[in-house]
Amino acid sequence: MMDYSKFLSALSQNPLLNEWAAKLPEQIAQGLSETRYGDLPRWKQALTALPELTPSEICLDASRVGCNGDVTPSQREHLEEALKGLHPWRKGPFELFNVHIDTEWRSDWKWNRLKDSISPLKGRTVLDIGCGSGYHCWRMRGAGAELVVGIDPTPLFVTQYFALQKYLNDPSVAVLPMGIEHLPAKLQAFDTTFSMGILYHRRSPFDHLLALRDTLRSGGQLVLETLVIDGGLGDALVPEGRYSKMGNVWFIPSTATLESWLKKVGFKNPRLIDVSQTSMDEQRSTEWMQFHSLAEFLDPNDSSKTIEGYPAPKRATFIAETP
């Protein structure tokens, strides 16, 4: 049901990744251990409940990842019910046999902001760190990447990936159940590495940037997206407590500071390709994510501030290369 065998054989074809591929079954078993994650049996049940359907069409590079096929109304209902068993759906949206998974985030907006500025992904081996359900992984594959390795330690998101994989059925895309700290040191194997929405969750931003650098081959490209504040070189916000109700936010630099951090760890030619204020249209509660979202994380009287009084979330994307 959660079978990585086809992906592992694709991974082992890559001479820079085959040693890791041999160790992965053990890491995967640890990452999906039912003793560690009590809800996993329930999520696995939702996977088992997914109906057998064959898509007539798969469009990984449309603005929505998904497929339309012929389904009866009862099959559609059955599909929707099983997918809802995997609530909350955060990253998407997805369209599966006309079931529209209206996720908390419009991850397609993030993708649209960067897709034309990065090195073309055609033929590249790509790593997406903290990929959630794998929304951007599917888009990367749709943009021509040869192999897409997503990693995320949250087993619900890995289960959501398997629900999508059941119908998209592409052995060149996987979401592996692990955090960045479980990657082998100095892999130096990827042509492009994405770290989006991760840096501010790391206590040590420099260790994160160094770890990212070490995933890339020489001349590989980093795509880094993270929260930023307005300000100049040297400015960074370290929230005293929560930020936007998140308990695990550490460093939020200005773009000038982040550029200098990238240079300091040895990236060449860092370029800022986008800065966007996160809107309540981009991150919101939906039928598929019924918990609180951005509207409840901002000051009800002043949406330019978080509920804690910090500047409201603004995100920047940088690209940079390894020497």
Q: How far apart are the first and last CA of the chain?
A: 41
Q: How many CA atoms lie less than 13 Å away from 252 in the CB half-sphere? A: 23
- Strand bridging mode 173-176 / 94-96: unpaired
Work out whether 131 is an interface residue with ligand GEK (CB under 6 A): yes
Of 196, 209, 265, 289, the one binding ligand GEK by CB under 6 A:
196
Q: Does 196 carry a binding-site annotation?
A: yes
Q: Which of residues 81-110 bind ligand GEK (CB under 6 A)?
A: 91, 107, 110
Work out whether 153 is an interface residue with ligand GEK (CB under 6 A): yes
Q: Which stretch binds ligand GEK (CB under 6 A): 40-48, 67-75, 126-134, 290-298?
A: 126-134
Would you give the DSSP letter of residue 134?
S
Work out whether 289 is an interface residue with ligand GEK (CB under 6 A): no
Burial of 212 (0-12, 13-18, 19+ CB in 10 A): buried
Work out whether 224 is an interface residue with ligand GEK (CB under 6 A): no
Peptide bond before residue 88 is cis, with ω within 30 degrees of 0:
yes
Closest approach of Cβ 287 to ligand GEK, in Å? 19
Work out whether 68 is an interface residue with ligand GEK (CB under 6 A): no
Using DSSP, state whether 318 is helix, strand or coil: strand
Of 31, 66, 155, 197, the one binding ligand GEK by CB under 6 A:
197
Angle, vertex CA 309, rays to CA 113 and CA 307, nearest 5: 75
Contacts of residue 212, defined as CB under 8 A and 6 or more positions apart, other chains included, come to: 129, 193, 195, 222, 224
Work out whether 31 is an interface residue with ligand GEK (CB under 6 A): no
Of 51, 179, 184, 311, the one binding ligand GEK by CB under 6 A:
179
Sign of the CA dihedral 71, 42, 127, 264?
positive
Q: Does 28 carry a binding-site annotation?
A: no
Backbone angles phi, psi at 58, to 5 degrees: -130, 125
Using DSSP, state whether 279 is helix, strand or coil: coil
Of 66, 130, 155, 205, the one binding ligand GEK by CB under 6 A:
130
Work out whether 162 is an interface residue with ligand GEK (CB under 6 A): no
Work out whether 137 is an interface residue with ligand GEK (CB under 6 A): no
Residues 84, 46: Cα–Cα separation, whole Å: 8
Q: Does 135 carry a binding-site annotation?
A: no
273: which 2 tokens? 């390709």
Of 124 and 202, nearer to ligand GEK (C-beta) is 202
Work out whether 313 is an interface residue with ligand GEK (CB under 6 A): no
Backbone angles phi, psi at 322, to 5 degrees: -85, 150
Of 71 and 199, nearer to ligand GEK (C-beta) is 199
Binding site for ligand GEK (CB under 6 A): 91, 107, 110, 129-132, 151-154, 157, 179-181, 196-198
Instruction: Please report, in range form, the residues annotated as the binding site for carboxy-S-adenosyl-L-methionine.
Output: 91, 105, 110, 130, 152-154, 180-181, 196, 200, 315
